[in-house]
Amino acid sequence: MKGIYRLATASTIVLMILPAMTEPATAQQLTAKEIITKADEKFNGEMSGYSVMSMTIVRPTWQRTVEFKSWSLEDDYALTLITAPAREKGQTFLKRGNEMWSWNPAINRLIKLPPSMMSQGWMGSDYTNDDILRESSVINDYTHSLVGEEETDGRLCHKIKLLAKEDAGVLWGHQLWWVDKEEFIVLKAELYDEDGYLVRTERGTDLKTMDGRFIPSTIELVPAEEPGHKTVLKILEIKFNVKLAEGFFSQQNMKTIR
């Protein structure tokens, strides 16, 4: 499932998929790094799954919605099948590591996507090649510090600052995360460039329980320097812990998956 969320949440938002028990009693004494680590570890550990999502691209003069099904294994493999709109139905994308292939039945061609193709955003959205394919670690590439507590959307959150390490291969200068104290869900994240200017805001809303987990079912990505632009991801269906083998994520499967 992590693959889907990679798609959905950029390299930054980490959805905390915790089993019912957490460590509420000791939450207040957790360090910033530990909080982030928990979220990330849980995420990594539980990430095999299946989901159905809809992505709405919003622009000042128009908007467009794409629906797709997604399968993923850990952080490394993901297979996505576009189900709507009709014109794009049947296209599949395969991610293996930091490479991406695309299959389009209309032209009957399997193409390895060069990075230049992706620089405009996947399917026209605000998700870039960097969000989807870059392998950066929220734990190792940043130093973390707890800067306070704030209420966001009616829930009390840890406010954590993630400062990118000097030689880390991440585009951002620093990030601010609002992590829900109870459920360790990242409700809001602000991404800043090295000069300290806000470039992007991400929010997780519509919290609900799906397949036994309490997660945000809507994720919004808002670029800061482009008024009227945003991308909204809605999780329609999700199944965790689906057993998938690496062999599932093959070029052959790209053509036959339904």
Q: How many residues appear in the chain?
A: 258
Instruction: Quote the radius of gyration of the chain (alpha carbons, Å).
Output: 18
Q: What CA–CA distance (Å, rounded) separates 191 from 79?
A: 27
- List residues binding another protein (CB under 8 A): 57, 59, 62, 64, 85, 87-88, 91, 97-99, 104, 106-109, 111, 114-117, 119-121, 123-125, 128-130, 133-134, 166-173, 191, 193-195, 197, 199, 225
Instruction: Return the number of the residue (165 or 208) whose C-beta is nearest another protein.
Output: 165
- Paired tokens of 75: 């952080």
Instruction: Return the number of the residue (225 or 258) whose C-beta is nearest another protein.
Output: 225
Instruction: Return the number of the residue (113 or 242) whose C-beta is nearest another protein.
Output: 113
Phi-psi label, residue 233: left if phi above 0, alpha if psi -120 to 50, beta otherwise: beta
Smallest gap from Cβ 87 to another protein, in A, equals 6
Instruction: Return the number of the residue (32 or 66) whose C-beta is nearest another protein.
Output: 66
Return the number of other C-beta atoms located less than 10 Å from residue 207's C-beta.
Answer: 18
Smallest gap from Cβ 52 to another protein, in A, equals 19
Instruction: Return the number of the residue (40 or 90) whose C-beta is nearest another protein.
Output: 90
Smallest gap from Cβ 64 to another protein, in A, equals 5
Smallest gap from Cβ 101 to another protein, in A, equals 12
- Residue 16: closest CA among 152, 127, 177: 177
* Spatial contact of 207 and 216, defined as CB atoms under 8 Å apart: yes
* Spatial contact of 110 and 251, defined as CB atoms under 8 Å apart: yes
Instruction: Return the number of the residue (23 or 99) whose C-beta is nearest another protein.
Output: 99
Instruction: Return the number of the residue (102 or 250) whose C-beta is nearest another protein.
Output: 102
Identify the residue whose tokens are 């997660």. 215
Strand partners, 150: 157
Smallest gap from Cβ 91 to another protein, in A, equals 6
The pair phi, psi for residue 232, each rounded to 5°, is -120, 125
Smallest gap from Cβ 141 to another protein, in A, equals 9
- Paired tokens of 58: 């919003």
Smallest gap from Cβ 238 to another protein, in A, equals 25
- Residue 46: closest CA among 75, 71, 24: 75
